[in-house]
Structure 1
Amino acid sequence: MTLTSFGPANRIQRSPQTHPLTWRLRDDGEPVWLDEYQAKNGYAAARKAFADLSQDDIVQTVKDAGLKGRGGAGFPTGVKWGLMPKDESMNIRYLLCNADEMEPNTWKDRMLMEQLPHLLIEGMLISARALKTYRGYIFLRGEYTTAAKHLNRAVEEAKAAGLLGKNILGSGFDFELFVHTGAGRYICGEETALINSLEGRRANPRSKPPFPAAVGVWGKPTCVNNVETLCNVPAIIGDGVEWYKSLAREGSEDHGTKLMGFSGKVKNPGLWELPFGVTARELFEDYAGGMRDGFKLKCWQPGGAGTGFLLPEHLDAQMYAGGIAKVGTRMGTGLAMAVDDSINMVSLLRNMEEFFARESCGFCTPCRDGLPWSVKLLRALEKGEGQAGDIETLLGLVGFLGPGKTFCAHAPGAVEPLGSAIKYFRPEFEAGIAATSAAVVPPLARPIVVGA
């Protein structure tokens, strides 16, 4: 898999004005360390934020720019920052970077951390200044060992240069930053489960309210943002709101650029920084090069395993939250997967649901028991041993585990691809029902036996 922001050959020249996230990348893929980063205007936005802007000015600038979370949920970042308490007596606050990136088929944050670690640090420094947080943590997926090594080195470089630690840039502001590697759980992508894990507890989501902005790490006000989200902050502060808004394509309701990609049996799998509003067809054909010879596109997911499947006819949808919503699913992380015509959808969904069932924290009954039951039914259908009514039972589970039915968003994300796969490829599921099966059984007639 190519971790690159390059477009098609001779098509795009990256520049600060068009590629704020990736223009500093080296052609050889090596990390950009402090000297080179500063030579490429690194930390200039941080110096501007400290010298010329009040803390409230920074928050308002990010809010006016319309920056939204890049981890998948898409919550407005400035609004989230505005939830942090104004009370100056609450002087212990935390900034957490969600770098867990456990979503299958997603590797965008890995590229930023491995090749541009100082961009993330600068984004966190400006954000910490705005939020008045004195300590920050990068909660990193444990398997990202290279990212951990590069981030730790970059943190030490920033400390030595007076960009982290005490009295940063002579401002009197103190900010410590630590890299914390997790034990490896998908559920840690949920911000309150991440907070529990950081505290040394079991990674279960917490009840909300109270929200982390009021009661977060060790009971103190806490803000949690994704890696790519924080990496957008320096460009917004450095180049301004109107420029940032101008980056997106006409018709997009989201602003700025987004790291997007395509994997699967495409000719040029990879990762590119593109404006919001680019069509999925342009991403698939012009950047990913279309399907490899001998393969045909059967369907695709727009942004990770937790998003619904779409058909080739949906490729003209614009890649932004509202554009993908118009064709029935979510933008997610923006890294798409192409499914070729050799893939059986029952086998693909069985593999996906096994992952989601294993990664459930087990806290709430629908998720803890419903996902393993979907796996059992899919295994039977995959072997041709399904029974009449199994598809209806799966659709019932899609409803029972949908939005608002479970403690967090894990189960709704897990069943979204299942529901869409049955919608578009029901005959493949029906083919798994044994010919000797009894007459049609009413929906949910088969007993759900825990642990069976």
Structure 2
Amino acid sequence: MNKINSYEELQKACLKYSENLKIRESSEEEEAAVENKRCKRYITVCGGTGCKSAEGDVIVSNLKAEVEKAGLSEEVTVEIAGCFGFCEKGPIVKISPDNVFYVHVTPEDTQDIVNEHLLKGKILENLLYEEPSVKEKVKRQDEMSFYKKQHRIALRNCGFINPEDITESIATKGYLALGKCITEMSADDVVKLIIDSGLRGRGGGGFPTGKKWSFAKAYDADQKYIICNADEGDPGAFMDRSILEGDPHSVLEAMAIAGYAIGASKGVIYIRAEYPLAVSRLKTAIDQALECGVLGNNILGSEFSFNIDIRYGAGAFVCGEETALIHSVEGCRGEPTNKPPFPAESGLWDKPTCVNNVETLANIPAIINNGAEWYSSIGTATSKGTKVFALAGKINNVGLVEVPMGTTLREIIYDIGGGIKNGRKFKSVQTGGPSGGCIPASNLDIPIDYESLTSIGSMMGSGGMIVMDEDNCMVDIAKFYLEFTVEESCGKCTPCRIGNKRLLEILTKITNGQGTEDDLEKLKELAQTIKDTSLCGLGQTAPNPILSTMKYFADEYEAHVKEKSCPAGVCKNLLKYEITDKCIGCTKCLRNCPVNCINGKVKQVHTIDQSKCIKCGACCSGCPVDAIVKK
């Protein structure tokens, strides 16, 4: 692609390239026109990490080969796109302008897609999504319950454009916001617009983005920096990865806009090295942007220059904290420091630095293009816009969802997520990653915003949302998250380094059946002390899973301590397997037992020697008549 030398040239390029995308913007008229006749088609295959790992690349290759074999090369284009978000149903193939959305596609399905769908106009019912509530097949993406209540802003181009082709980004107004800023707006205008939009940081803290920019802008320096925090460390979270894989140019553009706003000419993307696909697409995007003249020196023929480098993280959770991240970029140990001074005053190489996470930045171009009033009209009074969540756990529709702030947990879990797997009973949802809290069913109708989640002992965090059912033990869940934070603590401050280890020891004692009522009091007291005295956000929020589960699931803690039992049947040392009178004496359990703790003769009820039982469950899972119960 040729270099673009002005904002006017960029606008013309946008109009030119957008023509190529119209085929993907399906309408009912276009859908009707393609029935039973050959016409221009566009096949989009999910190219996110999840679908690629399920042979997505093979599906693309096979489709291209089948299209050529059928003589449709002039009429059908096959391309990759970013993540569609519906990860539970991948690999995904979408055909436009038919607006047909196929799920669980395999390489073997590609021949039928071409020969039956493209040539004969026959919809492949076996590849359509089936709504779990009504057991009906759904053809269109926008008619699926998973998408109906979503409002995609940060994810606007994911699953729509080819992330490895800058012309497709430009076709969707890519870099127009940057061009508008450097030609029509002052730096103060840009900062004010972001402040007026109400955008708050999506990395967990929720600090107003425009204010952070204004602080960095206020300090004079010969060099300033913009850092994109792509060190996504929450278990089960993949929001930032999907944005970088599906729409990397939106983040690059936003970093340049932020640089223009605060007076920075250099940017750094700090990304975890475990994201090879995101890294690869970022490198491609940076090279293409430099070639086009929308990054680098004298952007779009202006006096503004902005360059971006990539730095790799080694997966340290604490480096999600901005001062620890900055130290890691500098080549030092990733440890947080006391604030003030804040990075806006003294950050990377002691220069004014602004740190924003991927999702925060992905919103910026849309806000510039559509206006502060547009963005602030979405969401709640104090939490504007939308939020992306990685919905996972015991949920039917695992995937990425983007909803307006103020949407309730019930809407996300049941309307979008399709409810709990296997018809089980909902028990809790954990938001905010290891720093968040576990929310019970009684709070399912609470609106999702920063203040509401904090009021019930959880937090927004970066957007992890793990759903649990009746088979989860909440004491064990608290222990799981604490094991993670203990492992990830940098060890700099005593409350986090030592205190969290003591918390973990007490929880381990309780789940082993050795806990006392005094231990429950110690848990509360120590958790609150760590929360009040730790140096950084990791330590300050590490006790949240414990405090929230003790508040909402106190009965489970008491059962572990007083009754020496685990109501959910998870904690091994508190389990007990018993053989009931339903036993037919087939001896299968006896033969399956690895420690020979089962006694009995053929056609007689067997017994278990509890002193020898290792609670492995082999007897229970192998019993043909369900005669063995877990207590």
Q: Given the two structures, how large is their TM-score scaled by the length of structure 2?
A: 0.65
Q: Secondary structure at the match of 2:437?
A: coil
Deviations 1:156-196 (A, max 9, x none): 11111111111111111111101111122000000000011
Aligned-partner SS, 1:431: helix
Task: Give, in whole Å, the separation in 2 of the partners of 1:13 and 1:413.
Answer: 32
In the TM superposition, structure 1's runs of 4+ consecutive aligned residues that sit over 4 Å from their partners are 5-8, 11-14
Could you say which structure has the larger radius of gyration? 2
Of the structure 1 ranges 78-87 and 336-345, higher mean CA displacement relative to structure 2 is found in 78-87
What's the counterpart of residue 152 of structure 1? Answer: 283
Where 1:356 maps in the other structure, the secondary structure is helix
Once residues 378 and 85 of structure 2 are traced to their aligned partners in structure 1, the CA distance between those partners, rounded to angstroms, is: 16
Find the aligned partners of 1:240 and 1:12 in 2 and give their Cα distance. 28
Following TM superposition, by how much is the alpha carbon of 1:32 offset from its aligned partner in structure 2, in angstroms?
5.2
Aligned position for 2:467: 338
One-letter code aligned to 2:503: S
Q: Which runs of 5+ in 1 are unaligned?
A: 437-452
Q: 1:389 to 1:18 in 2, by over 3 A?
A: closer
1:270 to 396, 399, 414: 399
- Between structures 1 and 2, the one with greater helix share: 2
Q: In 2, distance between residues paired with 1:191 and 1:139? A: 11
State the distance in 2 between where 1:275 and 1:81 align.
24
Looking at structure 2, the residues matched to 21 and 84 of structure 1 have their Cα atoms a distance apart, in angstroms, of 24
Corresponding residue of 1:123? 254
User: Hey, what does 2:228 align to over in structure 1?
Assistant: 97
- Tell me if 1:416 matches 2:544: yes
Alignment partners' CA distance in 2, 1:95 and 1:351 = 35
Whether 1:142 aligns to 2:273 is: yes
Contact 1:267 1:292 in 2 (8 A): yes
Question: 1:252, CA displacement in angstroms?
Answer: 4.2
Assess if the C-alpha contact under 8 Å between 1:18 and 1:247 holds in 2. no
The reply to whether residue 81 of structure 1 matches residue 213 of structure 2 is yes
Judge conservation of contact 2:219–2:345 (CA < 8 Å) in 1: no
Q: Say whether the 8 Å CA contact 2:457–2:544 is kept in structure 1.
A: no
Amino acid of the residue matched to residue 487 of structure 2? Answer: R
- On the 8 A contact 1:26/1:32 being kept in 2, the answer is no
Give CA deviations for 1:310-355 in whole Å, capped at 9, x if unaligned: 1112111111112323434322223321111111122222221111
Letter in 2 for 1:217: L
Contact 1:8 1:286 in 2 (8 A): no
Deviation (angstroms), 1:126: 0.8
Q: What's the offset of the Cα at 1:429? A: 2.3
Structure 2 counterpart of 1:63: 195
CA apart distance, 1:267: 0.7
- Structure 2 letter corresponding to 1:23: R
Q: 2:435: which partner in 1?
A: 306
Checking the alignment, whether the CA contact within 8 Å between 1:97 and 1:139 is kept in structure 2 is: yes
Alignment of 1:22-421 (within 5 A): 22-26=155-159, 31=163, 33-86=165-218, 90-248=221-379, 251-403=380-532, 405-421=533-549
1:384 and 1:431 in contact (8 A); partners too: no
Aligned-partner SS, 2:438: coil
Task: Name the CA shift for 1:311/1:18 in 2 (closer, same or farther; >3 Å).
Answer: closer
**Equivalent residue letter for 1:80:** K
SS in 1 for 2:554: helix
Partner deviation per Cα, 1:330-383 (whole Å, 9 max, x = no partner): 222233211111111222222211110011111111110011111111112111
Segment drifting more, 327-336 vs 3-12: 3-12
In 1, Cα distance between the equivalents of 2:259 and 2:527?
Answer: 40
SS of residue matched to 2:550: helix
Partner of 1:439: none
CA contact (8 A) 1:256 1:276 kept: yes
State the 1:222 CA deviation. 0.7
Residues 9-36 of structure 1: CA deviation (Å, up to 9, x unaligned): 445889xx95332232235x86352011
RMSD: 2.2
Residues 216, 345 of structure 2: 8 Å contact kept: yes
Report whether the alignment pairs 1:427 with 2:555.
yes
* Number of equivalences: 430
Percent of pairs with identical residues:
39
Partner Cα separation in structure 2 for residue 87 and residue 334 of structure 1:
32
Q: Within 2, Cα distance between the matches of 1:329 and 1:22? A: 25
The residue type equivalent to 2:181 in the other structure is A
Contact residue 262 and residue 270 of structure 1 kept, 8 A: yes
3-state SS, counterpart of residue 414 of structure 2 = helix
Higher relative contact order (CA 8 A, sep 6+): 1
Question: In structure 2, the residue corresponding to 1:84 is in which secondary structure?
Answer: helix
Tell me the alpha carbon deviations over residues 413-434 of structure 1, each in whole angstroms, 9 at most, x when there is no partner. 1101101111222232233338
Q: Does 1:21 align with 2:167?
A: no
What secondary structure, in the 3-state scheme, does the structure 2 residue paired with 1:432 have?
A: helix
Call closer, same or farther: CA 1:351–1:221 in 2, change over 3 Å: same
What SS does the aligned partner of 2:531 have?
A: coil
Spell out, residue by residue over 1:240-279, the C-alpha distance to the aligned partner (whole angstroms, 9 max, x if none).
111111222xx44211111124211111011112111111
Contact 1:258 1:276 in 2 (8 A): yes
CA contact (8 A) 2:225 2:265 kept: yes
Name the amino acid aligned to 2:201: G
